[in-house]
Structure 1
Amino acid sequence: MSYETIKLDINNKVATITLNRPKMMNAFNEQLIWDVGEVTDKLKNDLQVRVVVITGEGRGFTAGADLSERDSSWTDTKDALLRGYFPFLKNIIDMPKPVIGSINGAAAGIGAAVAMACDLRIMAKDAYIMSVFSNIALVPDGGLSFLLTRAIGYSRALEYAIEAKKISADECLNLGIANKVVELDQLQKATVDWAEYLAKRSPQALAHTKKLMRDSITQSYDEIYNDEAEAQLSIFGNEENLEGVKAFFD
């Protein structure tokens, strides 16, 4: 299936979504919002896909909302956030498989929220994440207040938000936002290698582990301990588990 504003490539159980509005730094117009929503809906239930990658075409990951768009179906900004962005951001967060953000350039505005919604991030050396909102007298959106604060703590997150400071790739690595930082010309290969490595692992184990780690942000130790036990019970002794144990001892 083809899309107007994204490219979708599926290979070796890895689906790569490329935001494809390079002349606009992949800024989100209404069509891009719908396209990402549709493709993430599809990939949630695609059993042939074990890992999802999100990246951008050209120089940027995404510059956030397309402020030049004048004709849209949104009644107001809140409508765009709740009816447009929220469904696909929740798809990323709830996706029953790892989502890797391959950050090739600027991830700004709500684009920073898209980057932070991903489970894992690999960044080009010159890429950055930036909450630009205070520069235009607005507040963070797309759930960025939640995602950034839980990633780096309240004081750091507040500083970056109210000062609209760029978080460079190296800073992201030091803060634990980025898992890996590579040169731009190595980004695509490094991303594919990482994604394909993860795709060789048990999809059930990946899905359960992601959910447990996500849930641990808001649940208690006792709740997560019980959820781990339930998940272990559901997959212990299945074919993938038995094959993995056999391979471990061989």
Structure 2
Amino acid sequence: MTTELAHPDDADWRVVGTRTDSSRIALATVRAETTLYEHVPSADSLEAVQPPEIDVPLRSLFAIELSFSPSLSAVGISPDAGIDLAAPKAKSQFVATLEDEGLDVGEQKRVGRLSREDGTEGRWYVLETAYPVAAGAADEGERPTVAAETHVAVWPTAESFAVAGGVLPLEAPPALESGLEVDVERDQQRLLDVVRALEIGERSEDESADVGDAGPGEDDTAAGDGA
């Protein structure tokens, strides 16, 4: 199932793939349905530096819907109450997926609160990332990677949890210095705006929490958790 975007900037993103994975946690089966998007305005430029064995673009967005069997409610667990335990695990699982793709995900830079448009509060992680580039895209003798960030947001839904975020460049590969615009603050805000509006496992108004406005740049006491 493809997750539909719900933000005015959604036309800038297009689906490049979907996948479904299953895993076991204790006595439950967890099903993860992932939709991967690429940023249309920069897709052609980035395709020139993306190694063929890596499916995740350097400027990308992902949305993951998690479901549990048996359901959390059937075993007496509330997603709202379980977010502090679920968020680090979901983040670490996604980091492992990126590393399997060939990305080098490093230290956690910060963690903050996510306040979504529906009032739900979640967690937002930002991690240092080195993105491999294709042969010929880096200067001779240099390590063939560019500096990037991985953003991972996790929040409770009506019956489960949702995960979303993306990868964004902090610099342009040498081969694209004149052809790829890098604006980190703009990319971070664009990613935040889309994630805050994502419709995954929607909650009713009565279920949505009344929380303050915060973003991924605001650290909290959980910042010591690593990938």
Higher helix share: 1
TM superposition score normalised by structure 1: 0.25
TM superposition score normalised by structure 2: 0.27
Q: Radius of gyration: which is bigger?
A: 1
Structure of higher RCO (CA pairs closer than 8 Å, 6+ residues apart) = 2
